[in-house]
Homo-oligomer: A and B are copies of this chain.
Amino acid sequence: MDDNNAMVIFQPSGRRGEVPKGITIIEASRKLGVDIEALCGEKKVCGKCIVRVEEGHFEKYGITSSQSNVSAWQEEEEKFINAERREKGFRLGCVAQVKGDILVFVPEESRAGKQVVSKAARDIYIEHNPAMRIYHIEVDPPTFEEPTGDFERICRGLEREYGIKDLTIDIMTLRTLPTALRDGKWCVTVSVWNEKEIVRIRPGKVEHVYGIAIDVGTTTVAGYFCDLSTMEVIDTVSMMNPQCKYGEDVMARITYHMMNADGLQQMSDDIIEGLNELIDKAIANTYPPKKKKKKKKGEKGPVEYIEAPEEGKTYLRLTREDIEDVTIGFNTAMHHILLNINPEFVGLAPFPPVIHHSMDIKARDLGIKINPSSYIFVLPIEAGFVGADNVGVLLAEEPYKHEGTQLIIDIGTNGELVLGNRHKLISSSCATGPALEGAQLAFGMRAAPGAIERIEIDPETKEVNYKVIGREAWRKYSEPKEMKAKGICGSGILDVLAELYRAGVIMKSGVFNKKVMKDHPRFRKNPDTNQPEFVLAWAEESSIEKDIVITQKDIRQIQLAKGALYAGCKLMLKRMDLDKVDTVKIAGAFGTHVDREKALIMGLFPDCKIEMIQGVGNSAGDGCRAALLNVKKRVEANWCSRNVEYVELTVEPTFQQDFMEAMQIPHMTDKFPHLEGLVPEDILDQ
């Protein structure tokens, strides 16, 4: 082995390999394909990447691992690792550098789980008018009297049959033209983009053309795989954004770019590779599944697979080239990073994006492996913190077509707000931070198996009942060891604040009600931090052999997030000179799971009739799909990006004041009439 390298082995995955000495354990994990949580983007502030460096000689691997083979202990680690755990070899993966051979154990809570992505396509009305259309034509073969070239021959056919004129052709398509024409015996199917450019020519008559609308979120990526001829959503596919390893939120990724010379390229390459995988996934489902071929007795040789079609089902059998149109929506930072555009200035006041306007980019110029002559339609951007994803939301919700005032909240890793009606629309963003999605909390995690997603607290006994992702039955109907709880995710976090308040565990200020909770077995002071905390799940119910708790600090983080959101909404109402909204729409995965009642109790947004609060799911993705299926929506998108006025809330004079007030949990007053009956009277009196 090279002297500059060291052997690193990760357990329990068993992944191992040589890495250059001097890189951090997190960097080594990335090289070896081990997923370790790195929510803060290696800024040493989230404490999620704790690992244990083992001591001893490991005969099996031929290495001797010891703590002296990693760099010295740093002050930053003390915040997250107490003396006892330090003694046991625990380290922050983003701090400790590899100095020699090591065996690293990744505790379950540090492992980046496979997030449960739920971004199904909603039923929204879209007019059928795709940018990509196919036309079938038959032409005469050339003769000495009429030796016109192939391209001009099909152009003449398209004009005669369909009235389409002045077409150009992509060079890569042109290369396939002479063979396609002759293979098809002078009958071909021509794919025409935007009535402008020929991007594919196939011999014979083809009936269908396909596309995919992609919503690239900071954390998850969803694709709607559509038949552009019939508008049918053939499949919905999704995946984690592979950039998560560079940091959980957009600022972390922008920072990663600024700290690493090739950081932008890396992140861009990763998401492009991710999109290609997503596309492969969509296509894979158009083929019958495969199963192992049974060997005859005594037969040897490699394992073979045979197709195992479901009876009565027909399969499309598509290839990457059969995807002929793609639309993509994303927030501004994701937009810039995917397109390999410097995102630095999006992160610096006054946060100007590099471009607002939509773009048509050749798939091959981005490395997206579909029909190579096709274009990727990139949705336009509203502002530095309100991106193309928000334009997608607008395209799907169309608040500019309605008289009533809508407040649309898209809570992803960043909060984006739109308020308005047919007369005026304003948008804004608020730094909810990643707390609502689980980062920065002692046991916060992504929506992966083992995450607590629903909580109820008995107001009498203060006992906790909860449900985890991956298990249907609630705690109360399960054996403790069946729960395998691991942490708490976004929807659980909203529940917990509302439930703690409703059950009287905390007061409207968010502070634990020590009078009430005194001597309750679930309430205690953490011996290490001296912080009050409340036990949500006991160690025996967990898969990490620890009590899962919510701390006073966690509650403060959630209050900061919801306060930012509420204050943002309030300031926007003020701007529009309104005192109420007619409809509140909650978009994003969050919106699908959130309990409307609890969102109202905790004061996530201004008061509204419960029945007028709507979860609209992945509305951004729906907007991308609308742009895929209806080219007029692309024009509408640019209209939106130009005409929605972006308001920077943090520079409003009353912002600080409003924000502080909004941190409180509201109680029923004239300003919150719809809270009536939701919280017991005695709590409201506090």
Chain A residues at the B interface, C-beta cutoff of 8 Å: 142-144, 147-153, 168-169, 171-172, 174-175, 177-179, 182, 339-342, 344-345, 349-357, 359-361, 364-366, 381, 383-384, 646, 648, 651
Distance of A364 from chain B, by nearest CB (Å): 8
B361 touches A149 (CB 8 A): no
Listed by A's residue number, 18 A-B pairs whose Cβ atoms lie within 8 Å are A144-B651, A147-B352, A147-B384, A147-B646, A148-B356, A150-B352, A168-B360, A171-B366, A174-B339, A174-B359, A175-B340, A175-B341, A175-B342, A178-B341, A178-B342, A178-B345, A178-B354, A182-B345
How many copies of the polypeptide does the oligomer hold? 2
List B contacts of A350 (CB < 8 A): 142-144, 147
A151-B356 CB under 8 A given contacts A175-B341, A340-B175, A651-B144 = yes
Residues of B within 8 A of A153 (CB): 352
In the complex, A569→B149 CA distance in Å?
Answer: 25
Closest to A332 in B: B149
Q: Name the distance in Å between A537's Cβ and chain B's nearest Cβ.
A: 45
What is the distance, in angstroms, from A269's C-beta to the closest C-beta of chain B? 14
Q: Which residue of B is nearest A339, CB measured?
A: B171
Contacts of A383 in B (CB 8 A): 147
Q: How far is the CA of A383 from the CA of B147 in the complex (A)?
A: 8
Q: Which residues of B contact A359 (CB under 8 A)?
A: 168-169, 171, 174
- Assuming the contacts A344-B178, A345-B178, asked whether A147 and B339 have C-beta atoms less than 8 A apart, the reply is no
With A152-B356, A152-B357, A179-B342 already in contact, the answer to whether A351 and B147 are too (CB < 8 A) is yes
Q: How far is the CB of A381 from chain B (nearest CB, A)?
A: 7
Query: Which residues of chain B come closer than 8 Å to A178, judged between CB atoms?
Result: 341-342, 344-345, 354
Establish whether residues A151 and B357, one from each chain, have CB atoms under 8 Å apart when the complex forms. Answer: yes
The answer to whether B361 and A171 have CB atoms under 8 Å apart is: yes
From B144, B354, B651, A648 is in contact (CB under 8 Å) with B144
**B143–A354 touching, CB < 8 Å:** no
Inside 8 A of A353's CB, which chain B residues have their CB?
149-150
> For the complex, what is the distance from the CA of A359 to the CA of B152, rounded to whole Å?
13
- A175: chain B residues at CB < 8 Å are 339-342
With CB as the reference atom, state the residue of chain B lying closest to A384.
B147
Contact (Cβ within 8 A) B148 A341: no
A7 CB to closest chain B CB, in angstroms? 36
Task: For residue A152, give the distance in angstroms from its CB to the closest CB of chain B.
Answer: 5
> Min CB distance, A250 to chain B, in Å?
16
Alpha-carbon gap, A352 to B178, bound state (A): 10
**Complex CA distance for A52 and B344, rounded to whole angstroms:** 66
Report the Cα distance A172→B359, complex, angstroms.
Answer: 12
Of the listed residues A149, A150, A182, A340, the one surrounded by the most CB atoms of chain B closer than 10 A to its CB is A149
In the complex, which residue of chain B has the Cβ closest to the Cβ of A144?
Answer: B350
A144 to B348, CA, bound (A): 11
Q: Known contacts being A174-B339, A175-B341, A178-B342, is A355 close to B147, with CB within 8 Å?
A: no
Chain B nearest Cβ from A98, distance in angstroms = 34
A536 to chain B, nearest CB (A): 42
Residues in B with CB closer than 8 Å to A341 are 174-175, 177-178
Contacts of A148 in B (CB 8 A): 352, 356
Cα separation A315 to B648 with both chains bound (whole Å): 50
A178 CB to nearest chain B CB (Å): 5
Shortest CB-to-CB span from A383 to chain B, Å, is 6
Q: Which residue of B lies closest to A372 (CB)?
A: B365
Across the interface, which residues of B come within 8 angstroms of A351, CB to CB? 147
Report A166 CB to chain B, min CB distance, Å. 10
- For the complex with contacts A149-B381, A152-B355, A178-B344, 15 further pairs of A-B residues with Cβ separation under 8 Å are A142-B350, A144-B651, A148-B352, A149-B355, A151-B354, A152-B357, A169-B355, A171-B339, A174-B339, A174-B355, A177-B341, A177-B355, A178-B341, A178-B354, A179-B342
CB distance from A174 to the nearest CB of B (A): 6
- Report the bound CA distance from A177 to B339 in whole Å: 13
User: Hey, which chain B residues are within 8 Å of A384, CB to CB?
Assistant: 147
Q: Which residues of B contact A171 (CB under 8 A)?
A: 339, 359, 361, 365-366
User: A648 — which chain B residues lie within 8 A by C-beta?
Assistant: 144, 147
Chain B residue numbers with a CB within 8 Å of A354 are: 149-151, 174, 177-178
Residue of B nearest to A345 (CB): B178
- In the complex formed, the residue of B with least CB distance to A383 is B147
CB proximity of A375 to chain B, nearest CB, Å: 11
In the bound complex, how far is the Cα of B151 from the Cα of A359, in angstroms? 12
Report chain B residues within 8 Å CB of A345. Answer: 150, 178, 182
A148 to chain B, nearest CB (A): 7
- Closest-by-CB residue of B relative to A385 is B147
Query: A648's closest neighbor in chain B, by CB?
Result: B144
Smallest distance from the beta carbon of A469 to chain B beta carbons, Å?
39
Give every chain B residue within 8 A of A142 (Cβ-Cβ): 350, 352
Q: Which residues in B have their C-beta under 8 angstroms from that of A352? A: 142, 147-150, 153
Q: Is the CB of A356 within 8 A of B149?
A: yes
| Closest CB in chain B relative to A622 CB, distance in Å | 25
Q: How far is the CA of A360 from the CA of B341 in the complex (A)?
A: 25
Q: Which B residues are in CB contact (< 8 Å) with A349?
A: 144
- Which residues from B are CB-within-8-Å of A174? 339, 341, 354-355, 359
